[in-house]
Amino acid sequence: MVVFSYAMFYERFRNLISKWQNSSLEQVHFISSASSDDHSDYVSSNRPVSNDIKLHGAVLNGALILYSYTLMLIVMTYNCYLIAAVILGAIVGHFYFNDSLSNNSGSLACH
């Protein structure tokens, strides 16, 4: 049950990171379009992202990698019950915590 919950909340954590990244990009886009006269989009504005946002993103990425590696190690025990708990937890977590049909938060790889 613990492994199932751990895998389920991994999906929640991925979802929260994806939402944080989208909101951070929207804030940077809003700032860059408000400060320019021609209302160019973020990609063409060459406005650097603040170090604070980059630091938060790096820490969240590291935490997500740590989380996924622990799930990988659980699967690598080759215990069928633990593997099933990880897979079912990921399925249930994706069902409950995914807001859209697209998978914007990354691949199914370990990181």
Highest averaged pLDDT of the listed ranges 15-24, 25-34, 38-47: 15-24
- For the whole model, what pTM was predicted? 0.69
Q: Which of 21-25, 44-48, 60-64, 79-83 has the lowest mean pLDDT?
A: 44-48
Q: What is the DSSP string of 20-86?
A: HHHHHHHHHHHHHHHHSSS---HHHH-PPPPHHHHHHHHHHHHHHHHHHHHHHHHHTT--HHHHHHH
Q: Is the pLDDT of residue 14 over 70?
A: yes
pLDDT band at 18 (very low <50, low <70, confident <90, very high): confident
Instruction: Work out the average pLDDT over 29-35.
Output: 56
Each residue's pLDDT tens digit, 85-111: 999 999 999 999 987 766 555 555 554
